Amino acid sequence: MRMTLAVHPRQYTIHSFSPNAQLPSEVFAEEVYFIGRTEEGLTVVVSSELELDSLEQETHWCCLEVLGPLGFSMTGILSKISGTLADVQISIFALSTFDTDYILVKKNCLQSAVAALKKAGYKIIESNEAP
């Protein structure tokens, strides 16, 4: 089976908060958002259109979504994608949901990432609105 990835048209920002921070309600109204909390901190990924008062932030991330759903018995999907990108010196920020995986790459690396993935046999669906 040939794996397909879709490029999201929006850019995302990765925010860092203290672990006990209260997030603004606007985060939960976003179409797509990710939240991870540990003892060390709270990480939030949202559209760059939403400005948040975070401790630190990393801007200009583009998202590649592995089109699923992916069963839990499927192995090595994220490993193969991240390995393909590591081979061409592209750093990633990976996120997973119950159904699929998301790979964020910096905007200035998006075209190189797409080219490397296509060369490796992945099908890429690029939105006309992609940055």
Question: Closest Cα to residue 23, out of 36, 32, 10, 11?
Answer: 36
Residues 25-59 as b or e (16 or more Cβ within 10 Å = b): eebeeeeebbeeeeeeebbbbbebebeeebeeeee
Which residue shows structure tokens 């990976």?
94
**Which domains are delineated in the chain?**
4-126 (3.30.2130.10)
pTM over 0.75, yes/no = yes
Each residue of 15-69: pLDDT tens digit? 999 999 999 999 999 999 999 999 999 999 999 999 999 999 999 999 999 987 6
Mean pLDDT of the chain: 90
pLDDT score of 128? 56
pLDDT over 70 percentage in the chain:
90
Each residue of 79-127: pLDDT tens digit? 899 999 999 999 999 998 888 889 999 999 999 999 999 999 999 998 7
